[in-house]
Amino acid sequence: MSDTSHNTYFDGGVQSLGFENASGRATVGVIAPGTYDFNTDGAELMTVVAGVLEAIVDGESDWETYPKGSRFEVPASSHFQVRAETPSAYLCEFL
Amino acid sequence: MSDTSHNTYFDGGVQSLGFENASGRATVGVIAPGTYDFNTDGAELMTVVAGVLEAIVDGESDWETYPKGSRFEVPASSHFQVRAETPSAYLCEFL
């Protein structure tokens, strides 16, 4: 038994595993090739763990590229788009 | 639809999401508190993405501690034990 939750979005195009520890609540996930729209409740820090992600965060107009090891922050109560050309993995920390 | 696979081990104590890209086959996963035994087919490179893992890899006698950002390699056709005191996340790359 564990508290790890499995979440599936966009017909499996985005899947994540949720957990919580002393650093707070977070998920690790995999993004299949495609473009996806998300809305945030709280602010999130996204770190690319494998592959490459592109994102447009609220208020930006162009896609920014985030290779493995890079990160971007998404404000609370906002909207962002994520795009992957190759299956890519991320860590999402809820701030 | 996607090729991302969700795998559950040890009654959910270890869960992973499998994917493949130009870098090869890999999983991201979450390890709930506990101690787990694994056998490898091919060699694996484990990178701690969140939390802390401890491991005993084939041939070692003591637990080694791997904090977030550190990594350890597991040989092909071997046995290793992993222990977590707090929910922790990893990237496992199949070499």
Q: What percent of chain A has pLDDT over 90?
A: 94
Contact across the interface for B51 and A21, Cβ inside 8 Å:
yes
Q: Which of residues 28-67 of A touch B (CB under 8 A)?
A: 28-30, 32, 47, 49-51
Domain of residue A25 covers 5-94
Beta strands in B2-87 (DSSP E): 5-9, 14-21, 24-31, 34-39, 44-50, 52-57, 64-67, 71-74, 79-84
Average confidence (pLDDT) over A6-12: 96
Phi, psi of B5, rounded to the nearest 5 degrees: -105, 140
- What would the mean pLDDT of A72-76 be, rounded to a whole number? 95
Distance between CA atoms of residues B28 and A50, nearest Å: 9
Integer Cα distance of B56 and B37 in angstroms: 10
What strands, in cross-sheet order, belong to the sheet with B79-84? B34-39, B79-84, B52-57, B64-67
For residue A84, pLDDT beyond 70: yes
Would you say residue A1 has pLDDT above 60? no
Confidence band, pLDDT 50/70/90 cuts, at residue A2: confident
Give the up-direction half-sphere exposure of residue B44: CA atoms within 13 A in the CB hemisphere. 21
Segment A46-70, tens digit of pLDDT? 999 999 999 999 878 899 999 999 9
What does pLDDT average to over chain B? 95
Q: With an 8 Å Cβ cutoff, is A11 touching chain B?
A: yes
For B13, the token pair is: 């104590």
What is the domain-level CATH number for residue A52? 2.60.120.10
CB B48 within 8 A of CB B69: yes
Please report the pLDDT score of residue B58 as a whole number: 85
DSSP conformation class of B66: E
Quote the pLDDT of residue B1: 53
User: How many structural domains does chain A have?
Assistant: 1
Taking only the tens place, the pLDDT of each residue in B43-71 is: 999 999 999 999 999 878 899 999 999 99
- C-beta atoms of A29 and B16 within 8 A: no
From the list A8, A15, A22, the residue facing B86 with the nearest CB is: A22
